[in-house]
Amino acid sequence: MAPTAAAAGLAARDASGHLSPLTISRRSTGDDDVVIKILYCGICHSDLHSIKNEWKNATYPLFPGHEIAGVVTEAGKNVTKFKGGDKVGVGCMVNSCHSCDSCNQGLENHCPGVIFTYNSVDKDGTVTYGGYSSMVVVHERFVVRFPEAMPLDKGAPLLCAGITVYSPMKYHGLNVPGKHVGVLGLGGLGHVAVKFAKAFGMTMTVTVISSSPGKRQEALERLGADAFVVSKNADEMNAATGTMDGIINTVSANIPIAPLLGLLKPNGKMILVGLPEKPMEIPPFALVASNKTLAGSCIGGMADTQEMIDLAAKHGVTAEIEVIGADYVNTARERLAKADVRYRFVIDIGNTLKDAIE
């Protein structure tokens, strides 16, 4: 077993959320572990919630980052899937119990003992630290292989945003050619949802639903959506009523749900992946009258995550990103809070972290 290693990175030390340099010790490399040199890490909106303790569970210092891409530098003696030099990624989880029904089904995200990539307590009692750092040690089960066709920078956000929208499409039958899928919200999650929905088949119809008319051209011409509905436009909403098999709801704001449920066909489904702060108000008849379903979905298991990244590479699905230096992260988090990014910030850890912390 290799000794513990020092890792440099950027951490929040209090609820201000300000990120500053800090050196930590990563755990020693176990027999089943993979050591990864981090080259890129996406900035997820969850990172902002966490560093500012908006979910009331932060343990400081807090190293965010669960959209990690890099290369393997070391593998434990029991590791069979990876070797030095492999292009890999790490998403929202780094461990689980490995023995419950969910784990046995490859749904580690539902394990009662799931250990998240940061701000979680690992099996040895230490707090996990995320990808705004130089390296990470992870059990091989929670490492994703990057296909050669998948660039590390544009692929990193798929490890959270990608699986977050891919999984509900798969498990709710919205990945079948011929389906009409609505994507509510065109941000970090929504833009990837559009791309995946189109990747499921030429006969898929994808409609973006947004409160921002200014995103129409972007949705149709750049991202490949078939239609665009402005949710505040009564005529457009009426025209789209009863046309969609399912809606992936990526919005984290509290908005009226009943009009949006009206866009679904009978037996249609709305799947929530955004997390509004306040409880939702759902008129019962909006669901009952046409046998509609309101469901939720939280990331996905490791088999699904590998399947997702492989399909993305095959069909050219990547995140639309703005690559930034590590010295820009505090500005980036302020911009992200204002939705001032198209559509995901990705930190160039490999080339800029060293200068940012010196």
Phi-psi category of 10—alpha, beta or left, where left has phi over 0 and alpha has psi -120 to 50?
beta
Residue 177: name the closest of 150, 206, 149 by CA. Answer: 206
Q: What's the average model confidence in pLDDT over 215-225?
A: 96
CATH number belonging to domain 161-296: 3.40.50.720
pLDDT for residue 358: 82
- pTM for this model (two decimals): 0.96
Q: How far is the first Cα of the chain from the last one, in angstroms, to the nearest whole number?
A: 30
Q: Where are the domains of the chain?
A: 5-151+321-356, 161-296
Question: What's the fold here for domain 5-151+321-356?
Answer: Quinone Oxidoreductase; Chain A, domain 1 (3.90.180)
pLDDT tens per residue across span 175-205: 999 999 999 999 999 999 999 999 999 899 9
pLDDT for residue 3: 61
pLDDT tens per residue across span 258-299: 999 999 999 999 999 998 888 999 999 999 999 999 999 999
Q: Is 204 helix (H, G, I), strand (E, B) or coil?
A: coil
Is 5-151+321-356's fold the same as 161-296's?
Answer: no
Q: At what angle are helices 302-315 and 161-171 packed, to 10 degrees?
A: 100
pLDDT for residue 46: 95
pLDDT for residue 124: 86
**CB environment 13-34: b (16+ within 10 A), e (fewer):** eeeebebeebebebbebbebbb
Q: How far apart are CA 279 and CA 281, in angstroms?
A: 7
pLDDT tens per residue across span 48-102: 999 999 999 999 999 999 999 999 999 999 999 999 999 999 999 999 999 999 9
